[in-house]
Amino acid sequence: MAREKKHQPHQNHERWMVSYADFVTLLFAFFVVMYATARIDESAPQRVSESVREALKEDSFRALVSALMEENTRNPGTYSANPANHKKSTASKADAVLLEQFLPSMNFLSRELADEIRKEQVQIRLTRRGLVISLRQAAFFPSGQDVIAPETYGAIGKVAETIAKLPNHVRLEGHTDSIPIHNGRFRSNWHLSTARAISMLDLLTGEFHVPGAKFTVAGYSDTIPVDSNETDDGRRRNRRVDIVVLNLYGLNDEPVGGNRAQDELIHRLAEEKQKAIGTAN
């Protein structure tokens, strides 16, 4: 019987093409991802900036948005992977814009209302929301009423002059202390705080002809104190109408009581710049 010839196994010399094809596929996918990423980094900040500018239509808001996006738009390669570092960088630029925008108005009002500030009838602060002019109830409103004292019209007129020159929106906020009120006109502190804000609106638009479209009105009752309601002095400071010239932050933020850390930082920067200006002069 003839012995069956054993066949040698066939060697596949084209197996390298499988690995090569896989490598080319991965390389192609890599370059597609890189291209897409480059296109996003190049155009996204510009698209976002244009959308915000179109939505807000205010010079002051455009300046703030530009400051917030300046770092990533001009130097995209320097963007920090640490969100805290990037937030700190953009916040410092926004604070700089805030100072540049509102410091002249703050200086003007500080000079013109120096007597009222010294008597603690008016307080002017630069905060994250914008420029806040607090008018204390004891000077501007009779107790338990919403009628503005005529002798305060001069001080309010200087505030009206300032806000009329700015493009920013203004929020009029009424606040009370925690002692409940219930009389023939007002059933609660909510009604009183709102009525005082509306009275300020009527005076600013009627007597001083500031356009009504600049304003919104809010009454907060005793929910946002700036001091303790346990003392007479604290309650006196809490009874106020705040005229808030809003920036971009202010459109989104509700007011805060007490001494918020970021507001304190911004106000301290404003005071330091005021002193520097005074020394230079």
Which pLDDT does position 242 carry in this prediction? 97
Architecture of domain 98-280: 2-Layer Sandwich (3.30)
Q: pLDDT tens across 29-69, in order?
A: 777 667 666 554 455 555 545 544 444 444 444 444 444 44
What pairs with residue 126 in β-bridges?
Answer: 131
How far is Cα 84 from Cα 247, in angstroms, rounded to an integer? Answer: 23
Residues 6 or more apart whose CB falls under 8 angstroms from that of 253 comprise: 128, 129
Helix (H/G/I), strand (E/B), else coil: 124 = strand
Count of alpha carbons within 13 angstroms of residue 3, beta-carbon side = 3
In the predicted model, is pLDDT for residue 5 greater than 70? no
In percent, how much of the chain has pLDDT > 90? 45
C-beta neighbour count of 243 within 10 angstroms: 25
Q: pLDDT tens across 175-213, in order?
A: 999 999 988 889 999 999 999 999 999 999 999 999 999
Q: pLDDT tens across 125-169, in order?
A: 988 889 999 999 999 999 889 999 999 999 999 999 999 999 899
Confidence of residue 174 (pLDDT cuts 50, 70, 90): very high
Confidence of residue 226 (pLDDT cuts 50, 70, 90): very high
C-beta neighbour count of 216 within 10 angstroms: 15
List the domain boundaries for the chain: 25-95, 98-280
Phi, psi of 77 (to 5 degrees): -75, -15
Q: pLDDT tens across 227-243, in order?
A: 999 999 999 999 999 99
Among residues 165, 154, 127, 210, the alpha carbon closest in space to that of 135 is found at 154
Burial class (CB within 10 angstroms; exposed 0-12, middle 13-18, buried 19+) of 217: middle
In the predicted model, is pLDDT for residue 13 greater than 70? no
